[in-house]
Structure 1
Amino acid sequence: MDALDFMSTLSRMLAGMSNNNELISLLDAADALPRAIALRARSYELLRLEPGASAVDVGCGAGRAVAELTERRIKAVGVDVSQEMITVARNRWPGADFRIGDAYSLPLADGEVAAYRADKVFHELADASRALHETRRVLAPGGRVVLIGQDWDTFVIDSDDPGLTRTIVHARADLTANPRAARRYRNLLLEAGFGDIELEAHVGIFTDGAMLAMITGIAEAVLVAGAITRDQRDSWTEEQAERAHQGRLFLALPLFVATATSRG
């Protein structure tokens, strides 16, 4: 996983990123990277679909996964809560099926699809169990689910002040609706009645100074939330800037992939 791929997983981390055009451009750049392409391809393999089967991509964004599944002769439906994202997706892939909806109330009939995919979505859902109840509703018996997401509470950042770093990481996680959803994928799926649950872990390691803006964005968000002082923000970001200048920056991000089968 390289820098822009990592940025796609943290697209909402930057406190000031409210411009959807900027976000879409960032996601486009990330989606085009070889490792991002490989991870998407892996998720399609894990769905175990034959040509002609149906699938829903929840949180589809600008629709690339739906387009790629369609190229594999899958009847894919993309669902996103954002009208702007759906508009972009429809303009880019006019032959594909995109619908407005959210993870708690999908615009699908009972048992309509054979597979469900959600990439970096569940950390934004306050009630993951409710979302998985909806997943079971739309899946046909024996249908497959693939969940992909990062654990916001276990970012690893090297620093001369590990105590302050822990405070910053944990405080930033607390600003996310469900920051530890990915580590709970297995238990959430078990509780929801899914079977054949399997897990994969992917870890991105970054030493590139290009990550400095992302790291300082974490500290800025935590400062705005009142979890650290301005002096703490300044000292911590100055140290990280010096590390970047010296080629000593270190950040690691765990990303988890969970698969399961609906028992009907």
Structure 2
Amino acid sequence: MTRKTDQTHQATDGLVALLDAADRLPGAGELRARSYDLLGAEPGTSAVDVGCGAGRAVAELAGRGVQAVGVDASERMIAIAHGRWPDADFRVAQAYALPLAGASVDGYRADKVFHELAEPERALAEAGRVLAPGGRIVLVGQDWDTIVVDSADPSLTRTIVHARADLTIAPRAARRYRTLLLDAGFTDVTVEVHTGILNGPAALPLLTGLAEGACSTAAVTRGQADTWLEEQRARAAADRLFLALPMFMAAATAP
């Protein structure tokens, strides 16, 4: 294994750990279940989960009797998914070129994916290609500019949140879901907001990621990041931490 490959695997494994932690947060299971309901995930239907990660949603959809396919651009991620769910169907592919025939699935789901896409319109055109007429699409994700954190230094907090957002390809993609879906020709577009509230140590990995991201861009100094994180750790220990993370869920019907 080359050094570059090893670093890529380490980065992917780190992402899997973060995704696993997110899946364990309060309300995460209910949020996924709501996305399946909006998808119309019933026995005998079919669906593709784009950006499937380690495959949990694909396994849960299969548990509902759905013929589910998981797609991810990362070979390492797909290997992990295969290891966890050996009987499921996982494939390496980009959101812009899905390994599916036209009009071949009843549902398309993408959870925490579109903020990583530089060309969301292209991805939605591909979604429209693979969806059968009347099929359902569900997009789930956070708007990286709308993370709310209680802090003694609101100005520094705003700087940290926005600096971390700017590291993302499309940090405000979620607020565009409705417009993107309408412009792509989808109908019956709805948008829901489900806000997760975190008050304890479970929020610290996310807060650390925000601070480290801001520090990496020199938006804040190392000392400012450490001081901010120390305050958040103290808040968590004293049951005074408050983090609100709105998750946007858009659903629509294929023409």
TM-score over 0.5 for the alignment? yes
Q: Could you list the per-position Cα deviations for residues 17-65 of structure 1 after superposition, in whole angstroms to 9, with x for gaps in the alignment?
A: 9443344345445546673222222211111144222210101112222
* TM-score of the two chains, using structure 2 as the length reference: 0.88
- Give the distance between the partners of 1:85 and 1:59, measured in 2 at CA: 9
Report the Cα offset of residue 202 of structure 1.
Answer: 0.7
Report the Cα offset of residue 197 of structure 1.
Answer: 0.6
Q: Could you list the per-position Cα deviations for residues 96-155 of structure 1 after superposition, in whole angstroms to 9, with x for gaps in the alignment?
A: 221110111111111111110011111111121111111111111111001111111011
2:26, 2:196 within 8 Å by CA — same for their partners in 1? no
- Give the distance between the partners of 1:232 and 1:35, measured in 2 at CA: 31
Runs of 4+ aligned structure 1 residues displaced above 4 Å come to none
Would the alpha carbon gap of residues 235 and 120 (structure 1) be closer, same or farther in structure 2, given more than 3 Å must change?
same
Q: Could you list the per-position Cα deviations for residues 180-219 of structure 1 after superposition, in whole angstroms to 9, with x for gaps in the alignment?
A: 1111111111111110011111111122134234323311
Equivalent residue for 2:115? Answer: 123
Q: Which residue identity lines up with residue 136 of structure 1 in the other structure?
A: G
- Give the distance between the partners of 1:128 and 1:170, measured in 2 at CA: 21
Equivalent residue for 1:9? Answer: none
Would the alpha carbon gap of residues 30 and 240 (structure 1) be closer, same or farther in structure 2, given more than 3 Å must change?
closer
SS of the residue 1:78 aligns to? strand
Q: Does 1:222 align with 2:214?
A: yes
- Give the distance between the partners of 1:87 and 1:155, measured in 2 at CA: 32
Q: Does 1:157 align with 2:149?
A: yes
Q: Which residue identity lines up with residue 250 of structure 2 in the other structure?
A: A
Q: Which residue identity lines up with residue 38 of structure 1 in the other structure?
A: E
Report the Cα offset of residue 242 of structure 1.
Answer: 3.4
Q: Does 1:249 align with 2:204?
A: no
Q: 2:33 aligns with which of 14, 27, 41?
A: 41
Count of residue pairs brought into register by the alignment: 247
2:55, 2:70 within 8 Å by CA — same for their partners in 1? yes
Q: Does 1:135 align with 2:133?
A: no
Gaps of 5+ in 1: 1-16
- Give the distance between the partners of 2:25 and 2:151, measured in 1 at CA: 29
- Give the distance between the partners of 1:84 and 1:247, measured in 2 at CA: 38
2:41, 2:64 within 8 Å by CA — same for their partners in 1? no
Equivalent residue for 2:190? Answer: 198
Equivalent residue for 2:88? Answer: 96
Q: Does 1:57 align with 2:43?
A: no
- Give the distance between the partners of 2:84 and 2:202, measured in 1 at CA: 29
Equivalent residue for 1:184? Answer: 176
Aligned CA RMSD, in angstroms, stands at 2.1
Q: Which residue identity lines up with residue 187 of structure 1 in the other structure?
A: T
Equivalent residue for 1:172? Answer: 164
Q: Could you list the per-position Cα deviations for residues 224-255 of structure 1 after superposition, in whole angstroms to 9, with x for gaps in the alignment?
A: 11112234324333333333343322111110
Q: Which residue identity lines up with residue 159 of structure 1 in the other structure?
A: S
Report the Cα offset of residue 162 of structure 1.
Answer: 1.4
- Give the distance between the partners of 2:12 and 2:208, measured in 1 at CA: 21
- Give the distance between the partners of 1:241 and 1:117, measured in 2 at CA: 35
Equivalent residue for 1:147? Answer: 139
Q: Which residue identity lines up with residue 50 of structure 2 in the other structure?
A: V
* TM-score of the two chains, using structure 1 as the length reference: 0.85
- Give the distance between the partners of 1:37 and 1:160, measured in 2 at CA: 32
